[in-house]
Amino acid sequence: MPPKERAIPYKNRKSVSLYQLQEESMSDDESSTGSVEENVAEEEVEAITDLSNSDVCTKYQEASKIVNLALTGLISQCIPGAQILDLCNFGTTIINTQAMKLYQKKVNGVAVERGVAFPVCVSVNDVICNHSPLGSEEVEPLKAGDIVKIDLGCHIDGYISVAAHTLIVPESPDSPPTSISDEMGNVAVAAYNAMLVAAASIKAGATNTQVTDIVTKVASSYGVNSIFSVRMHQMKRFVIDGVKEVALRHPTADDLEAGEEKLDECTFEQAEVYAVDVAMSTGDGKPRPGVLRTTVFKRNVEANYKLKMKNSRSLLAQVDKKFPTLPFTLAQFEDERGAKMGVTECIAHGLLTPYPVLHEAKDANVAHFKCTVLLLPSGTARVTGLDMPEYFKTDKKPEEDIQQMLDEIAAAAAKKAKKKAAKKKKKKAASS
């Protein structure tokens, strides 16, 4: 398993160009010989699409490296004056460019699919998630002090890795943000720590209810609320929202009466993959509609309908060809106007599932962190996500059992970092 990538400290951070990011070393797919016997064996292995297949593990790891690379690059670009659309395009280019360097050899004459698994979204302040603007929309540029949540995903051959990160826009690229409120520190630390303990708790034999209990306990310790509609999901090949889900909090009687769904209990199993998605707020945690347009959608593969409008038929035909299973944004279509016109009929007949832009109250502080975990025989491995920025601080303390988990997680991370540094030093000495 690759060690967790670390965020670049502000004292060492410089603006990262797309060229520099593309020049970073990424592992390439190993080529194989072309004998008939090996091709047959490869086809048999490819039929196994969970983590019991070492090639599947490798594809998840490679997608994870790209996700962390894209996050690191985007963080460096979040400066005053940056345009959200430019940031989304920047992140998309990194993901697609790096993914296209891998697995270039065709399998049975067919190219291996790879690239964006979830559109790059940049959500600011009270906007919780799913904001990926269109080119025709006017959106205010970033300014110092803005709370930015970045969310994105990459896949290699349908094997998906995702991540989300929260930061504060600094006055300048070379200095950390200042004057961060206690409330913002509380919610950022709560969301990040909840992600860590949730990731550690998702292991073979545990249940989704147990994870929800732990996340609820963390939120309570820091005096914040989990965002109601955000859930963790199992991921499979070309499936980003699997059947097994984890709620961030248990619905109350009033919530159920208002239409909130109570999840059935499920048990995690070895060789599964999960997106550990945590969003928290200093507000009530109940998303509300806003003025921003929904642009991210996913094809509902079980639905069919004979559409009447030409724009709708054209849009759906393109979706079926380019994005048959994974989420996409309307910004990816050349005819943006036609796509906006056609999407309404597609939604009305259940052909597309929208990912609405979620908002909190204007005065609420929101934090969003997400990572990908692999349930391996050796234990749960967290393969995406960057460290929480050091400027997020709080005086609040979690309960004793949660703190013990956090201490164990930190110790394991330190041990892994030490082992990696020793291995790197040994390799350098051998080559000199």
CB atoms within 10 A of CB 159: 28
In the chain, what percentage of residues exceed pLDDT 70?
A: 89
Pair of tokens at residue 323: 């994005």
Does residue 255 or residue 279 have the better pLDDT? Answer: 279
* Res 4: pLDDT: 37
* Res 379: pLDDT: 94
Identify the CA nearest to 131 among candidates 309, 280, 330, 399.
330
For the residues 57-79, what does the mean pLDDT come to? 98
396-430 confidence digits (pLDDT tens): 999 999 999 999 999 999 988 888 888 888 888 88
For the residues 351-368, what does the mean pLDDT come to? 96
For the residues 14-32, what does the mean pLDDT come to? 43
Can you list the positions of beta strands (E) in 83-113? none
92-126 confidence digits (pLDDT tens): 999 999 999 999 999 999 999 999 999 999 999 99
282-319 confidence digits (pLDDT tens): 999 999 888 999 999 999 999 999 999 999 999 999 99
Would you say how long the chain is, in residues?
432
Q: What letter would DSSP give residue 365?
A: -
For the residues 3-11, what does the mean pLDDT come to? 37
Alpha-carbon torsion, ordered 180, 181, 187, 188, to 10 deg: 10
Q: What is the mean pLDDT of the chain?
A: 89
User: Residue 295 and residue 328: Cα distance in Å, rounded?
Assistant: 8
Strand partners, 309: none
- Full-prediction pTM beyond 0.75? yes
* Res 47: pLDDT: 66
170-190 confidence digits (pLDDT tens): 998 888 898 899 999 999 999
Checking if the pLDDT of 35 tops 80, the result is no
Checking if the pLDDT of 205 tops 60, the result is yes
134-170 confidence digits (pLDDT tens): 998 889 999 999 999 999 999 999 999 999 999 999 9
* Res 138: pLDDT: 84
